[in-house]
Structure 1
Amino acid sequence: MRKASVFLFSLAVLLAFQVGSAFADSKLDQTVDKLIGIDYDYGGTTTSGFDCSGFTGYVFKKLGINLPRSSRDMFSWDQGKKVDRDDLRAGDLVFFNTSGNGVSHVGIYVGNNKFAHAASKGVTITSMSESYYVKRYLGARRIMDTATYEKVATEQEAVEVAVK
């Protein structure tokens, strides 16, 4: 009887986590998750391979937002509003100086102090606290207005879609 109880409890916990994960993703999360592991390709803008700005532009195009092509242009784009690091929200663009010559890398803040980006090892999610990026962080830009943010970057939308 005890083995059956342990099995049923384990199954209930497993199912709870499975159901929870189905409801926890936003449209932004789902779009990024499908791209994790794709190879890095300098100048790449497709699922055959991405560079950092190609990846960022691809994700936002899937969300209905067109961005400038380069990380430098994204950083200075007049549609983006400067955001303090302490005020980052999912979907904000984060910029780094990885070349020693100003803006040279961009990623998408995904929450929990992490960002998605195309790095030399491919599309990945990295902690903003990683020492390499802490030293090279230049700033962030918010490109989504509140309505767009709520539509594509919050869990609420995913719950509504999952329920339908």
Structure 2
Amino acid sequence: MTIQTTTHLNFRGDARAALEFYQSVFGGHTVINTYADFGMPAELPGADKVVFGLVAAENGFRVMGYDIPGQSEGSIAGGGSTRRENNTTITDQALFVSIGCDSLDELQGYWDALSIGAIVVEPLAASAWSAGFGMLTDRFGVTWSVSVTAANTAE
């Protein structure tokens, strides 16, 4: 038996833009269904917002997104901020999205794409536990923790 977990992010009106951005970063395909697709009259406010969204790539990347009904443009629900202070990560966010890659070269490509319009919390660099680790909060308010997988740090 196998199990798969997929991060499901709740947005305040930006789910479509975020999912399209993540697909441009990680590849794969995007599925976006709106409230109108599921029966909400198209003339009602919010009918064009995302009720079900998914990005799935052959490299294993998966993320889902949703627009909270009645919420306006803004950062991810439950957002907040994350910063470094005195060599410590300080956050009031409920979660981070973590990705791991086999090589620093592969990770660097994702980092470069995710960092467009982002706030870098910790630059991508070697750390005590990884050949490459970094943290940023993207333009949608999602904080990403990225690293080269532990199995390959000794190479």
TM-score, normalised on structure 2? 0.26
Relative to total residues, which structure has the larger strand share, 1 or 2? Answer: 2
State the structure with more CA Rg.
1
Instruction: Between the two structures, name the one with larger relative contact order (CA 8 Å, sep ≥ 6).
Output: 1
Relative to total residues, which structure has the larger helix share, 1 or 2? Answer: 1
